[in-house]
Structure 1
Amino acid sequence: MLELIMYIDDDPITLMLFKKVVKKSSFAKEIINAINGQEAITLINTINDNSNQEKKPQLIFLDLNMPIMDGWEFLDLFNASNYFDLNNTKIIILTSTIDPEDIKKSKSYSNVIEFLAKPITVEMLSYLNTKL
């Protein structure tokens, strides 16, 4: 079981389902969330500023289609910065898009370990456990 994961998605119903599935599968003890990439970067900066007191997410689930800052913009900024020892923080893209170009593009980011279609399931989390 992971200590802390982050979920970045602007859909409150998807977030509620995500939390229920994670809890049911005992995948993580705690989930923090942001509704877009900009809010996620702000949250990450807060965690980094208080690095001695706060846990850092071991895994980030990321939607691609969001207002203000989408998933691609988040990935570009996250990877261009020194957030969390990037070698340790893996990203799962969890999105409703099935565009082959998006899947191909996701492979250009070394910290993206999987591209999954919404909604998350217990089976998906079991599969991810084998990859972590």
Structure 2
Amino acid sequence: MLELIMCVDDDPISLMLFKKVVNKALFANEIINATNGEEAIILFNTINNTTNLKKPQLIFLDLNMPLMSGWEFLDLFNASNFFNLNNTKVIILTSTIDPEDIKKSKSYSNVIEFLSKPITIEMLDYLKSKI
């Protein structure tokens, strides 16, 4: 079981379902969330600048969000000011099935999987074996 994961998604229903499935699968002890990429970057800045805060081991990231998309988040997250978080892996969890998005996701070294919503216990079991 992971200690801490993060879900970045603007849809409250998707987020509620995500939390229920993660808890049922005993996948993580704690889940934090952000409703868009900008909020996630602000949260990571706080984590980065505070020594006692836990760092998420895994980020589940939606791509299509207001204010800052998942792609914009990934570009900023992979910038040098987050170098001490670069062992945090990213799972893209989105409703898009565009082959170009799947291809683009492979250009980010910390993206380890591209999954379609909604998350399932089977997907989490698969991820357990991968991480």
User: Partner of 1:28 in structure 2?
Assistant: 28
How far does residue 81 in structure 1 lie from its aligned partner after superposition? Answer: 2.8
Please tell me the residue identity of whatever aligns with 2:67: I
How far does residue 85 in structure 1 lie from its aligned partner after superposition? Answer: 2.7
For structure 1, the residue ranges without an aligned partner over 5 or more in a row are none
Q: Could you give the per-residue CA deviations for residues 76-116 of structure 1, whole angstroms, max 9, x where no partner exists?
A: 01111332534411000000000000000000000000000
- TM-score, structure 1 length as denominator? 0.96
How far does residue 47 in structure 1 lie from its aligned partner after superposition? Answer: 1.1
| Separation (CA, whole Å) in 2 of partners of 1:38 and 1:109 | 19
For structure 2, the residue ranges without an aligned partner over 5 or more in a row are none
How far does residue 22 in structure 1 lie from its aligned partner after superposition? Answer: 0.3
Please tell me the residue identity of whatever aligns with 2:35: I
> Aligned residues: percent identity?
79
Give the alignment of 1:5-44 within 5 angstroms: 5-44=5-44
User: Partner of 1:75 in structure 2?
Assistant: 74
| Separation (CA, whole Å) in 2 of partners of 1:106 and 1:90 | 12
- TM-score, structure 2 length as denominator? 0.97
